[in-house]
Amino acid sequence: MSETKKNAVKRIGVLTSGGDAPGMNAAVRSVVRAAVYRGIEVVGIRRGWNGLINGDIVRLDERSVAHIIDRGGTILYTARSEEFRTEEGQKKAVSTCKLLGLDGIVAIGGDGTFRGALALSKYGISVVGLPGTIDNDIACTDYCIGFDTAANTAIECIDKLRDTMQSHERCSVVEVMGRNAGHLALYVGLAVGATAVLVPESKESFDTEIIEKIRNARLNGFTHYMVVVAEGAGSAFDVANRIRDEIALDPRVTVLGHVQRGGSPTARDRVMATRMGYRAVEILAAGSTNRIVGVHQGKIFDIDIDEALSMNKGLDMEEWAVLEAMTGL
Ligand SMILES: Nc1ncnc2c1ncn2[C@@H]1O[C@H](COP(=O)(O)OP(=O)(O)OP(=O)(O)O)[C@@H](O)[C@H]1O
Ligand SMILES: O=P(O)(O)OC[C@H]1O[C@](O)(CO)[C@@H](O)[C@@H]1O
Ligand SMILES: [Mg+2]
């Protein structure tokens, strides 16, 4: 439930958690600068929820976040914490909050990080979540920090692959990240002009999504093919084997992997992170809690965590329809 506290906010904590995402540093910087602007102190908590359990902290001021807006990764480090999933771990984290006199926590990460924030809030700690994940799989927001940079990294790699696939007249099968969702694969597929895109959300058969698309491309005179596979839809190696078995091509497989999580954030990620970080501080300064910051139709907004976590995010069906047209040659 959303609550409003009467006490003035003096000190807040900020952490990054789950998989890192380009733009997390820009978000940390924004939280610090927006807090300092309001006379609020900031404590950086390192290594995600583990840091809150272990009191792994660093004081942050406007100077300590200088020149990080352009840096990939996260200066606060990140982690996936098994201990924080337990009541014992959460109680240790609460003790740290009390010891440090933290009036609130800004947690930057994905859906798991928000579940952690929700757990902490049950002990009376004020929390705000900022969506930072290349998967873009958080339902309450149109956009998550890191997605644009990851997509552009994947696009740059696939453009290079296309050169050699075109020269050798080959089929390329490229696996992109996204965990259980196909948002990144769909977006990247549209941007590289893929022959076919396989996403976990599609109910169509392998034959319809992949084989028919390659066959049509060949009938239309193409001699190289770019197949983009979301990791959640299966392994690119399995997809390549099926293509080999069914239509006798000899595909080459590329798993882009963690390279997609690195690199200097794009303008979109920097600006989005800065706007969201500013809102997070506004929320805590107003004495509110249990909120997730998001963006909808270009406007920053915030929503109750419980409500946010109960929502499901489907693929952007307009993008999917366009892809169908582009690959339906
Ligand atoms: N139900 C939960 N209760 C308490 N803590 C949780 C819960 N779910 C996740 N967490 C905490 O949040 C951490 C991050 O979650 P997770 O590994 O799912 O990444 P994420 O935040 O979803 O980011 P990404 O998916 O981009 O990697 C977990 O390691 C765990 O410490
Ligand atoms: O870095 P790890 O723990 O290998 O996790 C990889 C997962 O994290 C993400 O990069 C971000 O959630 C997913 O796309 C991917 O499935
Ligand atoms: Mg997640």
Ligand 1 lining (C-beta closer than 6 Å): 17-19, 49, 80-81, 84-85, 109-113, 115-116, 119, 133, 135, 179
Q: Give, as one character, the DSSP assignment of residue 239.
A: H
pLDDT in tens, 246-265: 999 999 999 999 999 999 99
Rounded to two decimals, what is the model's pTM? 0.96
> Hey, what domains does the chain have and what are their CATH numbers?
3-146+265-309 (3.40.50.450), 148-261 (3.40.50.460)
Task: State in Å: Cα 192 to ligand 3 middle.
Answer: 25
The position carrying tokens 């307009």 is 318
* Position 4 pLDDT exceeds 50: no
Residue 5 has pLDDT above 80, yes or no: no
At residue 193, what are phi and psi to the nearest 5 degrees? 70, 50
DSSP E strands, 25-144? 41-45, 57-60, 105-109, 127-131
pLDDT bin (cut points 50, 70, 90) of residue 329 is low
- pLDDT for 231 beyond 90: yes
pLDDT range class, residue 7, cuts 50, 70, 90:
low
Helices (H), 141-255: 147-168, 183-192, 206, 212-219, 236-247
Q: Residues with Cβ < 8 Å from 216, sequence gap 6 or more?
A: 328, 329
